[in-house]
Structure formats: C-alpha cells, structure tokens
C-alpha cells in the first residue's frame, strides 16, 4: 500500500468509527444507569435508518436524519416507560430476553412497513462530492462523519461533567442508592437516559444512510459490532467506547484495504481476543461486580424417583412406536422436536447448572450442520463419517470460543457469545464459494440405508435421547456438581480446589459438542442448510425453549423445546409475521411467568 | 522452621493501605487469634494467605513453600482450608453434598463424568458434619440455613482436605456463647490431634483469651502487638482498644 492509500484507508476507518461509537456509547450509557444490556439497540439503529430513508423522500436528507433520530428517542422513552420499568427487578437473563423480543418485533415491523428489499438512501445534500486528499478522492460526507464522532464524544463529556443532569447520571451509574439519596427522581432519570441512548442509536443509523442501504439484517450485525466495541472498550465507559470504536473500525478498514474483505470479522475477532486476554474488562473498563446468579434459590438436584424414571422410559418407548402408527408429517415434526430438545438441553446445561448466559448457542448447532454439509459436499466424505465428525467441528469451535467466554461472566459473557455467533453467521453468510453464502448448501442427504423417513427417525431418536440422557446424567456426576458449584459460589469453589474456568470451559465445550450433534442430525433431515441455521434468532429460540420449560428444572427445557417447536410449526404456517408473535409471547412470558411453564406445572428439579 | 512464615505482607486498595508490613509465624498445632477493629485488615490478610488476592509486597511460605501469587485452588491443594466472614457455600446443594464435593476434590475426582456424586464419600462426609456439629442438617439445602449453621458447614468443608493450616474468619459470628465454646473446643481438638495450625479472627474477647495460644493485634493494617493472652491483657494499648477500660 502506498502512503496515500494508507491515509485514505485510515480516514475511511475514522468515518466508520463514528456511527459505531454513537451506537456503543448509547449502549454503555443505558447499561451504566439501568444495568440492562439493551439487545434492541441495533434495532433502534435499524429503525433510524429506515425512518431516515423514508422521511427523506418528503423532507430531504438533513431534516429526515434529525427527525428520525428524535422519533427513535421518543420510541426509546416509550419502551422504557411501558416495558423496561417492569424489568428492573427480574433476573438478567429475562431482561436480555425481553429486549431481544423487541428485536424480533422491530424486524417484523420493518418488514411489514418497508418490505424485504434493501432501501437505498439519498446522498447528503451539500456533501455529495469527493475531495482530493493525498492524490486520492475521499467523499465529503465521510469527512463530515469523521467530525461527528469526536463532537458527540465532547458533547457527552460536557453533558456528563458540566450539567446537573449529567452529574446525576454519573452518580446513578456509580451507586444507585447514593443517587436516591441525592433526591434524584430515578424513574425519570432512567427514562431520559434510555431516550438519550436511543437518540444516539437512531442518529447513528440515520447518519449511515448515505453510506449504506437500510436492510433487515443490519440490526444484529451492528449490535454485535457494538458488543465487540463495548467489550473491548469496557462496559459503561464512554471514552472506552470511543477508543474501541476507533480501533475496531480502523482494523476493519485496513483489512478491507489490504484485500481481506472476507476476513474482516476474523481480524476483528483476533483484536477482541487480544484485548480480552490482556484486559478482561476492556481497555478502560473496571471489573464487573459479581452478578446475581439466576439460581440463588434453586432447590438441590435430587435423583429422579423410580416412577419418574419409569415414565421417561415409557415415553422413550412410545416415541419408538410412533413410526408404526404414522409415517407422515408427524415423524418430521417429532424429529424436529427431538433435535431441538437436544439443542435446548445442551444450552440448559451451560446456562442453568453452568450459570453461563449464552446468546450464541446456535453457532455450535450451525457448526454441526455446516460441518456435516461441508464434509459431505466439499470433502466428499461418506454421510456416516460426516455425521460423526461434524459435531467435533462444533466441539472445536466451542473449545476455541469458550476459552474467551469463560473469562467473563454475566452480561459480558452473553455479549461475547452473541458476538461470536454473529461472526460464525457472517462467515457462513459471506463465503459464497465455500458455504454457499445466503443460499446455503443443498443436497445434504443421508445414505441410502438411512434415507427412509422411518430409518432416519430412529437414528434421530436414538442419538438425541442418548445425548440428552448423557447430559442429564453428567449433572449428577462429580463434574456436574463441580459445575454447579462454580456457578453457586466461585469463591468457595476456588477455595476447595475447583478450577472454575476449566470446569466451565469443559462444560461449554461439551454443550457445543452436543449442540453440534443436534445440528448435524438436523442438516441431514432437511437436506439443506441455510445461514439461518446458525443465526442469532436461532440462539434465542433455544433460550426461549429453556425458559418456557423452566431454567431451574432438569427436564423442563426438553418439554419447552417440544412446545416451542410445535407452536412455531403451527404459527409459522398461519402468520407471516410469526417472529413478531414470538416476540410478543416472550414479553408476555417474561412479564407474567418468569418461572417458566415448567415452574407453572410444578416441575421441580427432581422431575 | 515454622509451618507458616509471613513476611512484610502489604496490600493497598487505591489510597487505602489495608495491610502494611505484616510479619508473623505460625507453628503446627498452634491456635492464634488475629484481633483488631473492623477495617483493621484481618480479612485482607486472610485473603492473601489463601490466594484470594495477591499481595502488593511480602512473602508467605507454608512448610517452606512460597504461597504468594498462587490461586486459591492451588493453595487449597497445599493444605490450607478456610472459612469466610461472609459465608460462601453452594446454595443449590445440600449440606452433605457441599462436604462431599470438597472430599471429591480432595481425592482428585472432580473430572469424573459418571459416578453419582451423591454416593461419594458419604461416611467421610457424615463424620465431618458430625464433627462440626451439623449432622442433623445434612439433607437441608445450604440456601435456607441460618448464618451460624452455615459457619459450621463451612468448617466441615474446610476440614475435608485435612488442612495443615485452617483459616477461620469470624467463625463464631452469629452463634450463642455456648456454641462459640463448642466450636473453639473443636479447633483445639484439631490443633492437638492433627497438629493443624489454626488462625482465626474473633471479636469476642472471652473466646480469644480462653482459646488462643497467642494473639496478634492488628490496627489500621499494622501489627501493633503480639503475645500470649496473658501478656496482652497487660498491654495498655490493647486494654484501651479492646477491654473497654481506657
Ligand atoms: N475490595 C476492596 N476494595 C477496597 N477497599 C477494601 C477492599 N477490601 C477491603 N478494603 C478496605 O481495606 C481495609 C481492611 O478491610 P478488611 O481486611 O476487610 O478489615 P477487617 O476484616 O479487619 O474488618 C478497610 O479499610 C476496607 O475498607
Ligand atoms: Mg473482616
């Protein structure tokens, strides 16, 4: 690269950093005061984009950008008042899930309002041209963006240090009780902070309109970028977010400039990994306070009674008899139920007893599915070998990502798992030549002897039940106890010789392996794989299954998977906007039934 | 050579010098009380002794082996058991399971994926619970126990690896006076029979004077006095601070 190309690439990175910073700063502000990680932050950004494009047709770009940002701020205030206020006391898994429900609703809303096609935005009037810099041409609008980031940083700094309101925000960030003592009306402070965060997200989205088209997948891709920025910069630190946005955006710009545009995510990942190894709480972050465990009041894990064991065996036998009664759609649906039951049980393994919130478990399901497809189609492996080896690919992925994940806990961990899953998704989505890109892989069929519906059903039944039984059984072993111990009290666990991280790492890997088995079985049962198989919404599906069944129960997640799969199957045929319906169901569940359906049915951990 | 040799241990938090230049020795079979007002740095000392936090300066040696810088799990493997001022147990497990897990760890069986943990080392666990006086609570979940009972459960856990050094941070807090005596008699038994060195913090001076062989007095992070209970009773600084007859 010549000197001028380097300079241009550097400027390009600075321009990209601005909207990333706006997004991450809002996320950090909201987290600092409300202690909620707003998973819908990327959706606010996306809505800002769509609104800006839409409004610009009538009022022109600049007014539309401002109006869009203000509209998103108003929406943020409305969300805070109607929903978040009820969420402050609930466990954080439920908070995260509720904000994710908003992601689903916002995406279906955008789909309904603006359709599935990308919306190209206008150029910014007055800044349409390019200027000559070091012999190259650089867009004027990007120069403008370069200025926006530091301006917003300065404005936020002044707001937080020089105004009474800002001092209250900082007080609330540091110590909520103290803020209460200062006579802060916390209710409104929270609303205002959320609106400000939403404003920044909406503005970030609106200002990115001249650079890229509005589209429906931008919500999660910017969200995971923002998570990376926040994890690297330190959650709650606004200067940290600025530094990290610069770092990440520059790394991206140079990766593209050097011709590795496909590898940007990998490079981003390496940077994040390096920072986390050296500074686990981010560049300018402070060690996160220990979090309320979701399982504070979880009852001891008793061995199942003889009757429960008999009932489970009877259920297995009944499932084995189904092909005698029906070889039709019921078998297809039941296969799905079994696969997702194993998937949900593997997630429960780390999230419940392991205490690790994962918002990216679909990555391992997807690695199993893609592993199977790729081994079959690209490596020419026999189907049986692909089925056996693919879960290992998932296990290796979990081993690699897990190493970083277990260094964090609580919401940090949740953000990191989501970011990793998004990276895996992007690779699958972008690498057309290898993974088939957005079309995915087709022709992933089982060998002849497994080709009949019945034969494949028996394979699925055997593998899934065995997988579930093993995971459950392991929870009763010393390994499982040490895992729960690491969740209950890392302090005590360390003081009796338990290597908490190693324990969690091993569990994470085991769960990834099990999810990979589910994924590989799924691939061969469908014959095709699309990137959706490992998308973040798929990860959330699994969380909903676990929650639906009750996270504090042992068998609940399997029932949750059955109920969810059946509901999804019926609902997705009835409604176009079934994701939004799912979002509404999640919200209802979180607000009305935080113990899960399993809890409602009286399902205790002994069942 | 003493069992435990602590030299010039220091730790500060930001501007607060929590512990400064603390040195002392502990022999096998000795019971030593560390006393001092709240905030004197007792818990910080304990945290450095078992690897919970790394000292800023100073050295710790157990049986001649340097401990400073090792994580708690490694310190535990060398034979250091501890109880916490704010109790730390596994809330979702029964009292017996808490002790069984410590025993599984002691016997190097944490990695095994198949045997039932609830069947492991049952008798040994019961014996430890009996010793700590919580046998009748064995099947209760730790999450629902009273503070004083949790303290005893912690003691049973701490004894699972037959420690050479037992650290007890305010072991008798939340107990009635008669229970305090029982607990300290247990400590005496351990010191006598298993030659365990027992270091404990305690606010009740009756307990200290009756059950400690030696006393270390900590104030604002520094050791300001040390000696036998009898010697300290006569020390004016200690009288002033602790015996309420300034
Ligand atoms: N994690 C910490 N962060 C900041 N200051 C601490 C921390 N732990 C202890 N301190 C301070 O160190 C001093 C000693 O505390 P501690 O060791 O708990 O005393 P003690 O156990 O004798 O009551 C106190 O001033 C306390 O406020
Ligand atoms: Mg203390």
Do B213 and B145 lie in a common domain?
no
Same domain for B237 and B170: yes
Q: In total, how many domains does chain B have?
A: 2
Q: Which of B13, B83, B92 to mutate to test the interface with A (most CBs of A within 10 A)?
A: B92
In a 3-state reduction of DSSP, which class is residue A385? helix
What's the CA-to-centroid distance between B39 and ligand 1, angstroms?
Answer: 5
- Chain B interface mutation, best of A300, A354, A493, highest count of B Cβ atoms under 10 Å: A300
What is the ipTM score, two decimals? 0.93
- In a domain? residue B84: no
* pLDDT at res. A297: 65
Q: Are residues A327 and A205 in the same domain?
A: no
Return the closest-CA partner of residue B165 out of B146, B187, B148, B150.
B187
Choose one of B114, B131, B155: the last residue of a domain.
B155
The residue among B108, B124, B155 that closes a domain is: B155
Hey, whose CA ends up nearest to atom 20 of ligand 1?
A: B39
Domain contains A447: yes
Cβ–ligand 1 distance for B216 under 6 Å, the answer: no
Does residue B193 form part of some domain? yes
Q: Does A305 touch chain B (CB under 8 A)?
A: no
Chain B nearest CA to A137, separation (Å): 50
Query: Is residue B53 lining ligand 1, measured as CB closer than 6 Å?
Result: no
- A599 assigned to some structural domain: no
Between chains, do B110 and A478 touch, taking CB under 8 Å as contact?
yes
Q: How far is the CA of B111 from the centre of ligand 2 (A)?
A: 34
Classified as helix, coil or strand, A136 is strand
Chain B residues in contact with A303 by the CB 8 A cut-off are: 116, 118
The answer on A194 and A332 residing in a single domain is no
For residue A295, is pLDDT > 80?
A: no
* Interface A:B, Cβ pairs < 8 A: 118
Coil/strand/helix, residue A316: helix
Which conformational region is residue B9 in: left (phi greater than 0), alpha (psi within -120 to 50 degrees), or beta?
beta
The distance of B111 to chain A (nearest Cα, Å) reads 5
- DSSP secondary structure string, A210-236? TTS-B-TTHHHHHHHHHHHHHHHH-TT
Residues with CB under 5 A from ligand 2 (ion): B 42-43, 85
d(CA B71, CA A497): 9
pLDDT at A184 over 70: no
Do A470 and A349 have their domain in common?
A: yes
Domain check: are B48 and B141 in the same one? Answer: no
Q: What is the pLDDT of residues A374-393, one digit of tens each?
A: 988 888 888 888 899 999 99
B88, A492 contact by CB (below 8 A)? yes
Residue B120 in contact with partner chain A when CB distance is under 8 A: yes
Same domain (yes/no): B167, B75: yes
Q: Check whether residue B72 and residue B191 sit in a common domain.
A: yes
Domain boundaries, position B103 = 89-155
One domain, residues B65 and B105: no
Tell me, yes or no, whether B65 and B11 share the same domain. Answer: yes
* Partner-chain residue, chosen from B101, B113, B143, that has the shortest CB–CB distance to A474: B113
The region of weakest confidence among A124-133, A177-186, A429-438 is A177-186
In sequence order, the 6+-apart residues with CB closer than 8 A to the CB of B129 are B95, B96, B99, B135, B137, B138, B153, B156
Mean pLDDT within B76-101: 93
**Domain co-membership, B171 together with B204:** yes
Q: Report if residue A450 sits inside a domain.
A: yes
In a domain, B106, yes or no: yes
Q: Note which residues in 84-103 of chain B have CB less than 8 A from chain A.
A: 84, 88-94, 97, 100-102
CA–CA distance, A219 with B19 (Å, rounded to integer):
50
CB-based contact A497 B105, cutoff 8 Å: yes
Q: Give the tens place of pLDDT for each residue, A152-169.
A: 999 999 998 888 888 888
User: Is B203 found in the same domain as B109?
Assistant: no
- Domain-embedded: residue A15: no
Q: Which helix (H) or strand (E) holds A595?
A: none
Pair (B44, B112) in one structural domain: no
Q: Report the nearest-CA residue for atom 25 of ligand 1.
A: B39
Scanning every residue of chain B, which has its alpha carbon at the shortest distance from the alpha carbon of A298? B92
pLDDT in tens, B160-193: 999 999 999 999 888 888 888 888 888 888 888 8
Verify whether the Cβ–Cβ distance B84 to A492 is below 8 Å.
yes
Is the predicted pLDDT of residue B111 greater than 50, yes or no? yes
Tell me the ligand closest to B16's alpha carbon.
1
Q: Where are the alpha helices (DSSP H) in A406-535?
A: 410-430, 432-435, 453-475, 478-488, 490-495, 500-526
Q: Is residue A356 part of a domain?
A: yes
Q: B43: Cβ below 6 Å to ligand 1?
A: yes
Q: Of B139, B155, B171, which one is at a domain's C-terminal end?
A: B155
Count: domains in chain A: 2
User: What does each C-alpha distance from A193 to A22, A163, A164, A202, A563 come to in angstroms?
Assistant: 14, 14, 14, 14, 38
Q: What is the CATH number of the domain that holds B223?
A: 3.40.50.300
Q: Are residues B25 and B121 in the same domain?
A: no
Range of the domain at A75: 21-216
Mean local confidence (pLDDT), A72-91? 90
Least reliable range by pLDDT among A5-14, A273-282, A391-400: A273-282
CA-nearest residue to A296 within chain B is: B91
Q: How confident is the model at residue A443 (pLDDT cuts 50, 70, 90)?
A: confident
Contact (CB<8Å) A303/B106: no
Q: Are residues A345 and A476 in the same domain?
A: yes
Do B142 and B38 belong to one domain? no
- Please state, in angstroms and rounded to a whole number, the distance separating the CA atoms of residues A233 and A43: 21
In the block, tokens 């399901």 appear at A365
């Amino acid at each position: 690269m010549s000197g001028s190309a380097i300079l241009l690439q550097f400027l390009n990175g600075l321009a990209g950093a601005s909207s990333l910073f706006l997004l991450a700063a809002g996320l950090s502000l909201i987290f600092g005061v409300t202690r909620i990680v707003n998973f819908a932050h990327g959706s606010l950004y996306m809505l800002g984009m769509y609104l800006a494009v839409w409004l610009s047709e009538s009022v022109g770009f600049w007014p539309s950008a401002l109006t869009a940002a203000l509209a998103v701020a108003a929406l943020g205030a409305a969300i805070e008042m109607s929903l978040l206020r009820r969420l402050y006391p609930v466990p954080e898994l439920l908070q995260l899930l509720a904000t994710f429900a908003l992601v689903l609703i916002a995406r279906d809303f955008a789909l309904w309002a603006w359709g599935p096609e990308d919306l190209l935005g206008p150029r910014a009037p007055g800044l349409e041209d390019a200027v000559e810099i070091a012999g190259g041409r650089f867009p004027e609008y990007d120069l403008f963006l370069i200025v926006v980031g530091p301006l917003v940083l300065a404005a936020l700094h002044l707001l937080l240090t020089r105004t009474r309101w800002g001092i209250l925000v900082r007080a609330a960030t540091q110590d909520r009780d103290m803020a209460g003592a200062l006579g802060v009306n916390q209710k409104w402070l929270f609303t205002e902070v959320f609106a400000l965060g939403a404003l920044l997200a909406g503005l970030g989205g609106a200002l990115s309109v001249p650079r890229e088209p509005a589209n429906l997948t931008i919500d999660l891709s910017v969200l995971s970028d923002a998570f990376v920025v926040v994890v690297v910069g330190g959650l709650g630190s606004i200067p940290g977010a600025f530094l990290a946005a610069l770092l990440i955006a520059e790394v991206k710009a140079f990766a593209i400039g050097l011709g590795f545009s496909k590898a940007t995510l990998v490079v981003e990942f390496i940077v994040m990994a390096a920072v986390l190894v050296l500074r686990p709480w981010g560049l300018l972050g402070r060690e996160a306070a220990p979090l309320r465990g979701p399982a504070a009041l979880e009852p001891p894990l008793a061995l199942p009674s003889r009757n429960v064991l008999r009932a489970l065996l009877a259920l297995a036998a009944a499932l084995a008899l189904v092909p005698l009664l029906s070889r039709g759609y019921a078998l297809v649906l039941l296969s799905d139920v079994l696969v997702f039951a194993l998937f949900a049980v593997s997630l429960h393994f780390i999230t419940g007893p392991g205490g690790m919130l994962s918002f990216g478990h679909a990555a391992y399901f997807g690695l199993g599915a893609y592993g199977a497809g790729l081994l079959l189609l690209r490596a020419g492996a026999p189907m049986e070998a692909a089925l056996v080896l693919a879960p290992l690919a998932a296990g290796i992925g979990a081993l690699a990502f897990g190493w970083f994940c277990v260094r964090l806990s609580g919401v940090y961990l949740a953000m990191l798992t989501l970011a990793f899953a998004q990276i895996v998704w992007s690779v699958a989505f972008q690498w057309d030549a290898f993974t088939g890109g957005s079309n995915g892989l087709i022709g992933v069929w089982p060998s002849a002897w497994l080709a009949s519906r019945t034969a494949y059903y028996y394979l699925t039944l055997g593998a899934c039940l065995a997988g579930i039984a093993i995971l459950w059984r392991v929870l009763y072993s010393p390994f499982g106890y040490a895992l729960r111990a690491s969740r209950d009290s890392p302090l005590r666990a360390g003081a009796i010789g338990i290597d908490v991280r190693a324990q969690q790492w091993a569990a994470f890997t085991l769960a990834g392996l099990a999810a990979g088995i589910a994924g590989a079985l799924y691939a061969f049962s469908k014959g095709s794989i699309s990137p959706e198989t490992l998308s973040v919404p798929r990860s959330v599906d699994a969380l909903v299954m676990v929650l639906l069944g009750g996270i504090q129960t042992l068998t609940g997640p399997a029932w949750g998977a059955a109920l969810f799969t059946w509901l999804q199957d019926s609902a997705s045929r009835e409604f176009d906007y079934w994701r939004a319906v799912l979002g509404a169901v999640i919200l209802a569940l979180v607000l009305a039934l935080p113990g899960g359906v399993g809890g409602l049915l009286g399902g205790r951990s002994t069942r | 050579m003493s069992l435990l040799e602590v030299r010039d241990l220091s730790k500060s938090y930001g501007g607060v010098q929590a512990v400064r230049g603390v040195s002392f020795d502990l022999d096998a079979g000795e019971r030593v009380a560390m006393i001092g007002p709240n905030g004197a740095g007792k818990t910080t000392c304990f945290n450095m002794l078992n690897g919970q936090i790394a000292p800023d300066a100073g050295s710790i040696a157990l049986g001649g082996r340097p401990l400073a810088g090792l994580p708690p799990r490694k310190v535990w493997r060398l034979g250091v058991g501890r109880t916490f001022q704010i109790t730390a147990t596994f809330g979702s497990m029964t009292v017996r399971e808490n002790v069984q897990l410590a025993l599984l760890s002691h016997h190097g069986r944490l990695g095994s994926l198949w045997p039932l943990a609830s069947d492991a080392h049952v008798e040994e666990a019961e014996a430890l619970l009996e010793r700590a006086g919580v046998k009748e609570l064995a099947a209760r979940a730790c999450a629902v126990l009273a503070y004083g009972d949790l303290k005893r459960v912690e003691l049973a856990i701490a004894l699972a690896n037959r420690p050479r050094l037992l650290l007890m941070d305010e072991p008798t807090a939340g107990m009635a006076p008669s229970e305090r005596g029982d607990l300290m008699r247990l400590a005496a038994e351990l010191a006598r029979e298993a030659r365990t060195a027992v270091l404990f913090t305690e606010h009740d001076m009756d307990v200290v004077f009756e059950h400690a062989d030696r006393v270390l007095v900590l104030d604002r992070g520094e050791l300001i006095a040390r000696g036998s209970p009898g010697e300290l009773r006569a020390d004016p600084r200690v009288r002033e601070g602790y015996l309420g007859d300034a």
